[in-house]
Structure 1
């Protein structure tokens, strides 16, 4: 379950930011997770709850915003919504797609007391 290691790193990052801004309590964290990131949202939530124990983020509300996957075809230049890395261009059938969104994992917001 790589979501646990991601969760631990996320809480480390949030804790470091809280410390650098003299914050004692994080009440909410919003993450942007790409549809192609291979991250299972429910497993990530469980990992975040575990990783936040005994930190400034203990008891925080975790929000996960899924980012749809989009790509640009390198052959015809058209934009595509994609479901996997194996998709073909919906306009010309080419498999030469450059992923634009959908692979990211970002801490979007940290809400503090």
Structure 2
């Protein structure tokens, strides 16, 4: 299960940003999961909650956006959306000369933080 490793790295990055900006609590995290990342959303949610314990992101709301499987078809010269990463033919022309455009990783797209009052 590589979801735990992805979450550990995400928390490291979140904590580094929080420290850099003087944030003590992260209330929301937006992740984008690449179409070809082989990440299971429910496992990612479970692992994130586990790894976030006792960090600035503990109890935050996790938002996950699954990227669409996008490819470039060299045969018909079009960007096409695939319904599955197992599809090997262009849905427009049935050509097999596809180049993957979609990502295969996980990215932190946005953080929401709780404002701190400086006196």
Using the size of structure 1 for normalisation, the TM-score is: 0.91
Whether 1:89 aligns to 2:76 is no
Secondary structure of the 1:101 match is: coil
What is the aligned length? 113
2:117 equivalent in structure 1: none
Output aligned runs, 1:16-35, within 5 Å: 16-35=16-35
Question: For 1:91 and 1:59, how far apart are their aligned partners in 2?
Answer: 44
CA-atom RMSD, angstroms?
Answer: 1.4
Stretches of structure 1 lacking an aligned partner (at least 5 in a row): none
4+ aligned runs moved over 3 Å, structure 1: none
Q: CA deviation at 1:75?
A: 2.5
Larger deviation, residues 43-52 vs 88-97:
88-97
Higher gyration radius (CA): 2
CA distance in structure 2 between the partners assigned to 1:104 and 1:89 by the alignment: 23
Report if the CA contact (8 A) 1:86-1:95 is conserved. no
